[in-house]
Structure 1
Amino acid sequence: MSTRPSPPIRFGLIVIGDEILKGARVDAHLGAFKRMVGERGHELAWHWLLPDDPEALIAHLRFSMGRPDPVFVCGGIGATPDDHTRECAATAADLDLVRHPEAKALLEEKFGDEAYPNRILMADLPAGCGLIPNPINRIPGFSLGGHWFLPGFPQMAWPMAEWVLDRDYGVSALIQERAFELRGVPESALIPLMRDLGAQFPEATLFSLPHMGEDAHIRLGFRGRDRIDEAIAALRERLDHDGISYRACS
């Protein structure tokens, strides 16, 4: 992993595939990307799960390309008729789909004559895009408009994403999380406390996470990079002042 210092970055994640929406496969990307960006001190800010539908893909990619967040996109870059991501990315960016010479050479080297007529379609990419190396089978992904387009297969997508993260984004200070477990108090009673401490520590995120059922309780704490020890001390002091019982979470 790169140790180059970097400011914290908010990433988006788009996972594409009818097979996930219809239940044939379970999405493993969300947890993996949360881990990958989190262990580098960054944040996965949002996640979309989209169908293999060109109209939906174009609309969502146009929207996300207009935002500042870098985005990982997994799925739909193959050569079968249900793989629409390459063409939809080009359309969303108002670019032509053209045969990328370096991608063409990689596919010809890998498959020889069998690259034609179908596998070579994976070299048809948005004009001017960059390539992302694939250490598993050498069929590249591509980059465009702050988006990193990867295969849907986790064993390929994840090492490719780590290469992107280490090459382009470096490491920021890790996010810390400290919390207390509260019982016998309704969440509504915590609103004044949360309003006051949230304003006192704007550098951190104050969160309240209720748990229902037999073991009903509320996890109340702070998440962030700065002033977490100070914020959690202030939260402890306020809970004591308000007579709310608590215990520190492990």
Structure 2
Amino acid sequence: MDIGLLIIGDEILSGKRQDRHFARVIEILRTRGLELAWAQVRGDDEIDIADALIWARTRGDLVLSCGGIGATPDDRTRQAAARAFGVPVERHAGAEALIVRQYGDAAHPHRVLMADFPRGAGLIPNPVNQVAGFFVEDCNFVPGFPEMAWPMLEWVLDARYPHLQRRSATAEYRLRAVGTSGEGDLLPLMEDTLARFPSIRLSSLPFRGDATRPRHIEFGFKGEPAAAAAAYRHFAARLAAEFPVEIETLDAPA
């Protein structure tokens, strides 16, 4: 099951507000041995959001969606979710009770609109103001406010998907090759490493260099710890023996 992130809001696309979710979600996933497969930013357009959800459903992905579930007319994520799942939007009694308990008489007539979810939705608890998010199947919807969204996403992963977590199943080891002429010269070594260790993922991130740092490439070897460590050692040994570069250790196996 791949994990995808939807970041919803016209204000993100217009540049009026800077996204803070992308980097944080990557970190939340990483601490659980998980990683992000894709991310999309969508405006507050009901059909556009629904199309993204339908696409993700056809892939069988776990979706984390941030934003657009408020009570104002421009928030269309709940309606988009209902459209994507082919169900109506209706008042969720449990979500309404939480809002009334939190706000009393001030819950009506507007705040209770945030209890309108696609039929059959489950609740995602909000530790900040008790206004719940919701989930339908494997699509999970939380507010755009980071102080609410991030603990709610952690709840989603820990309460709904503990079976996906692989806290110690993978490791990544990294090194930096300083002074290389470019990735092209190292392609045969990268291909040889992947052929020898097909279960690992090899990443290559080149830097052109500037006044403070020479040209270099950062390499990563990610996978089951023993395989990733063996790939790292193989690559580093051949790199040192065959290429006139300086090797800087970033994360090395013990």
Q: What's the TM-score, normalizing by structure 2?
A: 0.89
Number of residues of Structure 1 aligned to a counterpart in Structure 2 = 242
Choose 180-189 or 203-212, whichever is displaced more: 180-189
Q: CA deviation at 1:223?
A: 2.0
- Bigger mean CA deviation after superposition, 99-108 or 163-172: 163-172
Matching residue's letter, 1:223: K
Task: Could you list the structure 1 runs, at least 4 aligned residues long, displaced by more than 6 angstroms after superposition.
Answer: none
* Contact 1:10/1:42 (8 A) holds in 2: no
Query: How far 1:72 sits from its partner (Å)?
Result: 0.8
Cα offset for 1:128? 0.6
Contact 1:58 1:89 in 2 (8 A): yes
1:222, 1:231 within 8 Å by CA — same for their partners in 2?
yes
Output the CA distance in 1 between the equivalents of 2:224 and 2:36: 15
- Is the CA contact (8 Å cut-off) linking 2:54 and 2:84 kept in structure 1? yes
Partner of 1:234 in structure 2? 234
1:3-152 equivalences in 2 (<5 Å): 10-152=2-144
Quick check: 1:179–1:222 contact (8 Å CA) kept in 2?
Answer: no
Gaps of 5+ in 2: none
Task: State the percentage of identical aligned residues.
Answer: 43
- Tell me if structure 1 keeps the 8 A contact 2:178–2:215: no
Segments of structure 1 that go 5 or more residues without pairing to the other structure are: 1-8
Structure 1 residues 46, 240: closer, same or farther in 2, change over 3 A? same
The residue aligned with 1:3 is: none
CA contact (8 A) 2:8 2:67 kept: yes
The letter of the residue matching 1:192 is: P
Aligned to 1:225: 224
Residue number in structure 2 paired with 1:182:
178
Asked whether the 8 Å contact 1:62–1:92 carries over to 2, the reply is yes
Correspondent of 2:188 among 150, 175, 192: 192
Shift of 1:81: 0.4
Report the Cα offset of residue 190 of structure 1.
1.4
Matched to 1:243, the amino acid is F
Contact 2:174 2:218 in 1 (8 A): no
**Residue 239 (structure 1) shift:** 1.6
Alignment check: 8 A CA contact 1:182 1:244 kept: no
Task: State the alpha-carbon separation in 2 of the partners of residues 40 and 177 from structure 1.
Answer: 18
Residues of 2 paired with 1:176 and 1:194: CA distance? 16
Distance change in 2, residues 1:205/1:104 (3 Å):
same
Give the TM-score taking structure 1 as reference length. 0.91
Q: Deviations over 1:60-114 (max 9, x none)?
A: 1111122222111000001000000001001011111111111121122222333
Which residue pairs with 1:165 in the alignment? 157
CA distance in 1, matches of 2:220, 2:146: 33
Partner Cα distance (2:171, 2:230) in 1? 15
> Match for 1:210 among 195, 198, 206?
206
Deviation at 1:244, TM superposition (A): 4.1
Paired residue secondary structure (2:83): helix
Measured on the aligned residues, the alpha-carbon RMSD in Å equals 1.6
Partners of 2:202 and 2:95 in 1: CA distance: 47
Q: Report the secondary structure of 2:59's partner residue.
A: coil
